[in-house]
């Protein structure tokens, strides 16, 4: 739960919104989906489907396939 205008940081392996996975990443997705979590998720799509009152205000690459995201309450 966030106060109005509150922010939350997320560190995970998301694709940047609008990007498609490259050939190597696509090749490993099926195996990763079975063994670990998917690396083919986009935070924007997750938020849209969830109806959560959050928006991505910062999306930066990190180590490997991980990204740092800052989300802000939009309502």
19-65 per-position pLDDT tens digit:
777 787 777 776 766 666 666 677 888 888 888 888 888 888 887 77
* CA atoms of 24 and 31, how far apart (whole Å): 12
pTM above 0.95, yes or no: no
Could you tell me if 69 and 14 are in contact, meaning their C-beta atoms sit under 8 angstroms apart?
A: yes
pLDDT in the model for residue 36: 66
Tell me how crowded residue 50 is: count the other CB atoms within 10 A of its CB: 9
pLDDT band at 18 (very low <50, low <70, confident <90, very high): confident
Beta bridge partners of 70: 9, 58
Query: Residue 12 — φ and ψ, nearest 5°?
Result: -160, -175
């Amino acid at each position: 739960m966030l106060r109005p205008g509150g922010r939350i940081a997320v560190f995970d392996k998301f694709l940047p919104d609008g990007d498609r996975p490259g050939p190597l990443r696509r090749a490993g997705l099926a195996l990763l989906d079975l063994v670990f979590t998917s690396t083919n998720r986009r935070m924007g799509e997750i938020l849209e489907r969830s109806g959560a009152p959050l928006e991505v205000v910062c999306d930066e690459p990190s180590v490997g396939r991980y990204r740092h995201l800052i989300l802000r309450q939009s309502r």
